[in-house]
Chains A and B, each alone.
Chain A
Amino acid sequence: MASNYTVTPEEILAISGVNPRRCMKCGRCTATCPAFAEMEYHPHQFVAMVESGRIGELMNSRSIYRCLSCMACIERCPRQVDPARLIEAVRLAVERKQGGNHLIPDQVPERLEPDMPQQLLVSAYRKYTK
């Protein structure tokens, strides 16, 4: 997986279009995050860690697959830091390299349930694969 591979903060900033230096460390993102309990690194930590260049750790963390892209942190961030965009950028950085896909098509059939909407598969694919 991502163990020996890292990207620079600049690359993350280019993908996300976010300036983490705008963060005033208020914690509204982490307060609002519905996936908090599932995350090793929480939204406010993402911002601080991208800012300080600790991106390798984020790339190896399952936290990047737990963000729901629900945009609550984007809506409520008072500084337009939009942590979900940084999380997405780190995940994309992982997926864009060889073998970086988180969702492998062979695994999908066993997880299917009859009522699952197409939207679920499409969005999961979009989020978890290149």
Chain B
Amino acid sequence: MQKIGVFVCHCGTNIAATVDVEAVAEAARHVPGVVYATDYTYMCSQSGQDLIKDAVKKYGLTGVVVCSCSPRMHEKTFRKAVDSVGMNPYLLEIANIREQCSWVHKDKEIGTKKAIALMKAAVAKAELDSPLTAGETPVVKRALVIGGGIAGMQTALDIADAGYDVDIVEKNPTIGGKMAQLDKTFPTLDCSSCIVTPKMVEVGQNEKIHIYSYSEVTNVSGFVGNFKVTIKRKARYVDETKCTGCGLCTEKCPMKKVPNEFNLGLNNRSAVYIPFAQAVPKVATIDPNYCLMLNKGVCGLCSKVCGAGAINYKDTDKEIEVEYGAIVAATGYEIMDVSKYDEYAYSQSPDVVTSLEYERLMNAAGPTGGELLRPSDHKRPKTIVFVQCVGSRECDSTRGGKPYCSKICCMYTAKHAMLTKDHYPDTDIYVFYIDVRTPGKNFDEFYRRAVEQYGVHYIKGAVGKVTPENGKLIVQASDLLMNEQLTIDADMVVLAAAIEPSHSARHLATMLTASMDTNDWFTEAHPKLRPVESPTAGVFLSGVCQGPKDIPETVAQAGAAASKVIGLLSKDKLAGNPCVAHSDEMMCTGCSQCADVCPYGAITYVDKEFRMRDRTTKVRRVAQVNPAVCQGCGACTVTCPSGAMDLNGFSNSEIMAEVDALCR
């Protein structure tokens, strides 16, 4: 006979306000098999846990049911508690009477009724629970960071600092990311290059860090502690080990009409190129879309001038497979395409630019050498209009609009306005805003400085139409506080376009089985308590790939992700999850349906000899589950037509018992 204890948590008023917790405990006392039931204000507190431990000892409990919050919250806590007094942790069940009951009901009577039903279901399952023991797997002591922007670099540096090997996979020829393209950073106005390029050098020189630049992750298999990752090293037609980065090839290359992506196409580069002077690795890359030798078989100039003999026109994409214990996604963001917002005339005038393009136009290493000249006629703009929230905070996605606030635009626009005024005090600057959002240390002071000290015209309103005409941009806008429609003859218009996740992120998330929200930002395991972990064990999140962030926040999160990785890599072995599937070979018909639905590739088929009743032997094809790879999702158990697949801890009989209890 089982001896079950039931513990009902008030969670302050979170549960107790909508559920009569005493009534739940009282109802439990009448459930067959329950020998003890009680309620308590905070079951997760030390004294709450002691209550459970004492009862286990006093009543010799064989199973425990805690009626509380979601198991995602405190299942671990309570399992640890019963484990400490000698009970197998898998004999504990949680009845979620908070998220799935008290929080969704208003009526106490209904809430209580439902809580009792959930409690009874959990008791029914607990009666069938059997002790489970987790296996152990070794941990590969190497981490992979996907993305080499400030987030990825910081994560890699922090992991390396703890003594572990880290690889960075970066799709571009150089690390550095968006931060390398910025001019100054808010709110301190320190030079972005001056703080990011030393970081890049540090990463490049760190013995523990290996950079796979111009590379992409193409496949991920395995599980926490034991990932196998395929990395495609795209053909760069230059031998990285030989190239000295002297740049002679880039000077001599006759094909100089390639849009320069580092300057967002505001000027051109050569077909063989080094993205910028401080690139890491400082190695040339040949752009196969434009190289005359690769396309037409004539030229070969770069090969002739290269003293190191690094050019290799026969280079091909190569794939390598590497094992990792942990993976960090640091894929960052892109600027949204604003061509569908052409009432702002971005596609109709070169003088309408995005904020990142404006950043390049102000940058000393940019296409104008830091002198602010508008793209159409290289004249200095006297009147500039900044438009906020282009594509952000929209509920209609027809034009690609985003429902979220991009978070960084208010601050960088204040920065752009001030820097412009600093260099050219006679410039007239208008900023059209919906709200100015500047929470953050010294942020609002920064924005107020733009208004009060620099005289930037902040106008609560929007731009409705930009009409390029006679060398001007006629801006039609609203001033809501004045209830007016304005017309401004501007020389430039700068659009604070929404930021969106890297376009490679969705594909990567699929490979990592990491979840994403509807906007394609990576989802964290818990929005408050586990912000740098993905719900998939061993996969961590760093920087903007999880949601819009500024640089300090990104760096802080990058460090946090690194500390989680270090915590994982510091273990020699990982306790596995014992709640894995297994197949009853006698019942298995070898149909393969389980293997087809398994998202982790944990199921294989083997030919096995079976003794038949008539003493003959027969070879049958049966399913086998690799317990180290299985994540216990249960897809195979519901797919199996013969009922051969079952899941430890969530067996078919346990689930049926729960359902029976609920239907009773």
Contact = CB atoms under 8 A, between A and B. Distances in A.
Q: Quick check: do A and B touch in the complex, using CB within 8 A?
A: yes
Interface of A: 22, 24-33, 36-37, 42, 44-45, 72, 76-80
B476 A78 contact: no
A31 B487 CA distance: 10
Contacts of A29: 464, 478
Contacts of B393: 24, 26, 78
20 contacts: A24-B393, A26-B389, A26-B461, A26-B462, A27-B434, A27-B462, A28-B462, A28-B463, A29-B464, A29-B478, A30-B480, A31-B462, A31-B464, A31-B477, A32-B343, A32-B464, A72-B464, A76-B343, A77-B396, A80-B396
Contact of A78 (B395, B464, B483): B395
A25 B461 CA distance: 8
B208 interface: no
Contacts of A36: 485
B401 interface: yes
A27 B480 CA distance: 6
A28 B464 contact: yes
Interface string B515-534: 00000000000000000000
B105 interface: no
B434 A25 contact: yes
Contacts of A30: 461-462, 464, 478, 480, 485
Given A31-B477, A45-B483, A78 B461 contact: no
A80 B394 CA distance: 8
Nearest to A48: B480
B485 A37 contact: yes
Contacts of A25: 434, 480
Given A44-B478, A72-B464, A78-B401, 20 more contacts: A25-B434, A26-B393, A26-B434, A27-B462, A28-B462, A28-B478, A30-B461, A30-B464, A30-B478, A32-B465, A32-B476, A36-B485, A37-B485, A76-B464, A78-B389, A78-B393, A78-B394, A79-B394, A79-B395, A80-B396
B485 A31 contact: yes
B663 to A, nearest CB: 41
B29 interface: no
A37 to B, nearest CB: 7
Given A28-B464, A31-B465, A44 B480 contact: yes
A29 B477 CA distance: 9
A63 to B, nearest CB: 13
A31 B478 contact: yes
B460 interface: yes
Query: Which of the listed residues B461, B462, B476, B477 has the most CB atoms from chain A within 10 Å of its own CB?
Result: B462
A78 B434 CA distance: 12
Contacts of A77: 396
A78 B399 CA distance: 10
Interface in B456-515: 460-465, 476-480, 483, 485
B445 to A, nearest CB: 25
Given A27-B460, A76-B464, A79-B395, A42 B476 contact: no
Contacts of B389: 26, 78
Interface of B: 343, 389, 393-396, 401, 434, 460-465, 476-480, 483, 485
A114 B477 CA distance: 37
A80 B395 contact: yes
A84 to B, nearest CB: 14
Given A32-B476, A42-B483, A78-B396, A24 B465 contact: no
Contacts of A22: 395
Nearest to A30: B478
For A28, A45, A80, the residue with the greatest tally of chain B CB atoms inside 10 Å of its CB is: A28
A57 B477 CA distance: 25
A46 to B, nearest CB: 12
B392 to A, nearest CB: 8
A83 B393 CA distance: 18
Contacts of B465: 31-32
Contacts of B461: 26-27, 30-31
A40 to B, nearest CB: 11
Contacts of B396: 77-80
In the A-B complex, list the 8 residue pairs whose CB atoms are closest, starting with the nearest: A31-B464, A32-B464, A31-B478, A27-B478, A78-B394, A30-B478, A27-B461, A28-B462
Nearest to A43: B478
A17 B479 CA distance: 27
Contacts of A44: 478, 480
A78 B403 CA distance: 9
Nearest to B483: A42
B320 to A, nearest CB: 46
A27 B461 CA distance: 5
Which one of A27, A30, A33, A42 has the greatest number of beta carbons of chain B within 10 Å?
A27
Contacts of B483: 42, 45
Contacts of A72: 464
A77 B394 CA distance: 8
Contacts of B478: 27-31, 42, 44
Contacts of B480: 25, 27, 30, 44
A91 B110 CA distance: 47
Nearest to B391: A78
B351 to A, nearest CB: 19
B495 to A, nearest CB: 13
Contacts of B394: 78-79
A85 to B, nearest CB: 14
Contacts of A31: 461-465, 476-478, 485
A44 B464 CA distance: 13
Contacts of A45: 483
Nearest to A32: B464
B4 to A, nearest CB: 50
B484 to A, nearest CB: 9
A77 B462 CA distance: 11
A26 B396 CA distance: 15
